[in-house]
Structure 1
Amino acid sequence: MQFINQLRWPFWFFVFIKNILGNDRVYIKNLIPPFFVSLFGAIFSAFLVKVLPSIIYGDSEGLERSKLVTGYKEKIYLFFDGPISYSVSNYDITTNLHYAIFSGFLISIGALVLFKSKGGLYKLGLSVILLVGSFSCNLVIEESFTSFRSIVGIEMIVVCLMFIALVSMTNFIKRHQKITFLSMALVLSSLSQYNIIRGFIIPQNGELHAITGELSAKIDREYNGKVMFDISDPAYNVFSNVQRSDEFGGISSAAPWVIKGMAEQIKKVKGYNFTIPDNYIVSENNHCDEDCIVIKPGDAMRKINIAY
């Protein structure tokens, strides 16, 4: 299911490349096959989130992705406040109004260049349809959460419009155009690498080391009792003050299905003998009783951060 979702989001971008950037004019017949491919994908996704859970578990009411949207005005507002805002600002990693204005200016220039091309009105209209269409499945469901991976299609189309603008604006300096774009590519790749390190590698690596240190401090390698986890007080901002969605700058151990895999990996690498019960999250109805040790990932991360 996750694979289908990740394939669906950039799907319409490739339709954009083929039919808008790859042809002099828009041919409706070329849009029919991708439409039915996307329709089949949406129907199959609906089966996976609505019908299959009902067959296996009896109902799917606990999944917001299985419910159709009811608050249309709120959904439209969230679409512009989330996906469109993130995409115009190129994922809005560090919110910057000046960059958003600059980006919006380039997008407008790119749209104008597209409009002035052969069949420009149809191309521009189709671009808007494809941009919204790449997020259409998210627009019709109750879930209002915006993740980075769900706006891949929108972001790619936006970047293409920006690139069209940059090409048209630098045509007058053809002698230096290659150097200009090579310099831009180096700067952008460096910024991307910096964001990956800052927003993903550092938080995840720090989190794993913190939990490893906590396990090492509380548990001997010969201990074969139970280990349970209290995730009631997560340290969301311990490694990064900038967070976007549940991905950039965030931690993983706040999710109950993640911490067990981390602990199992630490156990395997360091040679521990503890066991993790099936119900390993401490709660009011699930206590860590005799021959059991509680690990608090949030406290473990705060201990290694000088800000706490």
Structure 2
Amino acid sequence: MTNIVCNNFKIYFLLAVALLASYSPVFLSSYAFSDDWYYLFSSQTDPASIFKWDVLSGRPAYGGLRYLLSFFISSVDSLILLRLLSVSSLIILSCYFYKFISDRNILKNTLQRVIFSLTICLLPSFQVFNSWSVCFPFVTSIILAGLSYSALTTLRGISGIMLSALLITFSFAIYQPTAMCFLFFAFMDTCLTSRKIEKKELIRTFAMIFFGMLMALVLAKAIPLLLFGETLSRSNITIDLIGKIKWFFVEPLKNAICNYDTGRKALSIIISLGFILIGLKNISENGKEKVFLSFLFSVAAVTPNLLVTESWAAYRTISALSLITTSCFLIGLFFINDKIKYSQFIYLLLPVAAGWLAASNIKEGFSSPQQKEYALLQAEITKVVPKDFDGTLYYRLNTENLPKIAKSSKYDEFGSLSLGMPWTFAGMAYTVKKEAGMNFTLPESPVITGNDNCPGKCIIIDAQSVLAMK
């Protein structure tokens, strides 16, 4: 027992060091992106608005966490704290992954279990969670989903059901897509083990996730209506089911199959599909029904995405699906690798390559462009606006005519800029004002579209002029 504890500690330490190295750009760089700017501005002007918005979004626990930490957010540098919290949560999750698959005898040796636990924590979904400061509680939601599944399957009687229900509700109250990772743990326990499938356990599993989704509906519709008398339209149920099914294959599934390639190249899809099919063949050796269940878990994992009208397959919304497809990919890769002469080298190369890609994506897709963008706006404001100017500052934004550098070169948030989004300017301008000791004021709605003029004593900063300076 002492040797097991000692070995586990060494493995946990290794996972922590590897993840800290891979995600080092998120805490060694000072930057903010998109909603980070709104969070930074609201934290200093109206923290209560943060909680209200998240409650309207059906995420009261997320709102509570963001509200509590808002009192520690006063500058761009302070956002590093949130990203460090996210990375710390991911380290805990990777250790939990390792313990989970070890306890259930998934994969055949320690090396595979370590590589598996590390590399799936380097997927683009986790890159976004750690790079985007406002996403700091999302990994915690996955941990809660895993604990919920463990409680349901290891604790017998009503106590296990009650604890599982409480944990899955809390997970959904943070972020609905990450709470669906409950099904990833069910997939591993059901499809990646050699044990026989128990129908009662499957029924309990799907009943619990259905309960969680039902609670998510209550959180998104009933509670906002009760507290604020309104709900957000993006949580509305779609009536175009055929369209959403087509969308599933074109967007979420394509993104998930690409694994670590945020460019979503055709070659990546072909290679990945090959390993996934090999992985499924390997899974079928423990029962052909487990292949069917793998597909069922994959589709069920994105059920909330299929049911709502919103149709943006962001990496942060497909984490559960990505974990399942990449698991099949890794199993196929492990199977082929074990037949190669220099398999140990490949095993070591895989996490190194995934870690390098993660660090590169974060630098090129988040920290570097965001730092450059803020520097451009800061230079424009300090050049155009006199330091003693006490009028109002506005921002002219026409997203259709922004220079090409404002367009994302990769899918989702990677490579996107903040100045093309209307909710970011207030936070960015407010930060410039504080750092430069300026006197201008910001109106409640500082963004102007089209060719409208600003009222009274004012100055307009034009997005095209700012971004064209690069």
TM-score using structure 1 length: 0.86
Q: Distance in 1 between matches of 2:448 and 2:426?
A: 13
Deviations 1:31-82 (A, max 9, x none): 455434433332233233333444456554x61322x221122111110000
- Rate the CA distance shift 1:209–1:63 in 2: closer, same or farther, 3 A: same
Cα displacement (A) at 1:220: 2.6
2:278 aligns with 109
Deviates more, 1:87-96 or 1:272-281: 87-96
1:203–1:239 contact (8 Å) kept in structure 2: no
Alignment of 1:40-59 (within 5 A): 40-55=211-226, 58-59=229-230
- Contact kept, 8 Å, 2:257 with 2:273, in 1: the verdict is yes
Structure 1 stretches lacking a partner, 5+ long: none
- Which digits, 9 at most, give the CA deviation of each residue in 1:266-308, with x for residues without a partner? 222222222111122224798522221111233201222xxxx
Aligned partners of 1:203 and 1:240 also within 8 Å? no
Aligned to 2:307: 140
The answer for the alignment partner of 2:251 in structure 1 is 82
Kept after mapping to 2: 8 A contact 1:4/1:45: no
The 1-side partners of 2:275 and 2:228 are apart by 49
1:64 maps to 234
Please tell me the residue identity of whatever aligns with 2:257: V
Q: Secondary structure at the match of 1:257?
A: coil
Amino acid at match of 2:189: K
User: What is the one-letter code of the residue matched to 1:84?
Assistant: L
Deviations 1:183-219 (A, max 9, x none): 1221222122212222222222222111111111112
Alignment-mate amino acid for residue 136 of structure 1: T
1:256 aligned counterpart, secondary structure: coil
Q: CA RMSD in A?
A: 2.5
Greater shift, 252-261 or 207-216, is seen at 252-261
Cα distance between partner residues in 1 of 2:314 and 2:177: 11
Name the aligned partner's letter for residue 115 of structure 1: S
2:427 corresponds in structure 1 to: 261
What is the aligned partner in structure 2 of residue 176 from structure 1?
A: 342
Matched, 1:7 2:173: no
2:462 is equivalent to residue 296 of structure 1: yes
The gaps in structure 2 that reach 5 residues or longer are 1-58, 63-173
Tell whether 2:166 aligns with 1:25: no
Work out the CA distance in 2 between the residues paired with 1:55 and 1:296.
41
Give the AA of the match of 1:235: L
Query: Partners in 1 of 2:220 and 2:463 — Cα distance?
Result: 31
Partner of 1:217: 383
Amino acid at match of 1:38: I
Aligned residue pair count: 298
Alpha-carbon distance in structure 2 between the residues aligned to 1:154 and 1:169: 23
Q: Report the CA distance between 1:26 and its aligned residue.
A: 2.5
**Do 2:397 and 2:449's aligned partners in 1 also have CA atoms closer than 8 Å?**
no
Match of 1:197 in 2: 363
- In the aligned structure 1, how far is the partner of 2:211 from the partner of 2:463? 42
Which of 27, 35, 57 is matched with 2:206 structurally?
35
**Corresponding position of 1:160:** 327
Contact 1:235 1:299 in 2 (8 A): no
Cα gap change, 1:142/1:236 in structure 2, threshold over 3 Å: closer, same or farther?
farther
Q: CA separation in 2, counterparts of 1:154 and 1:136?
A: 10
Shifted more, 104-113 versus 88-97: the winner is: 88-97
Task: Compute the displacement of 1:133 (Å).
Answer: 1.1
> Which residue does the alignment assign to 2:409?
242
* Structure 1 SS opposite 2:394: strand
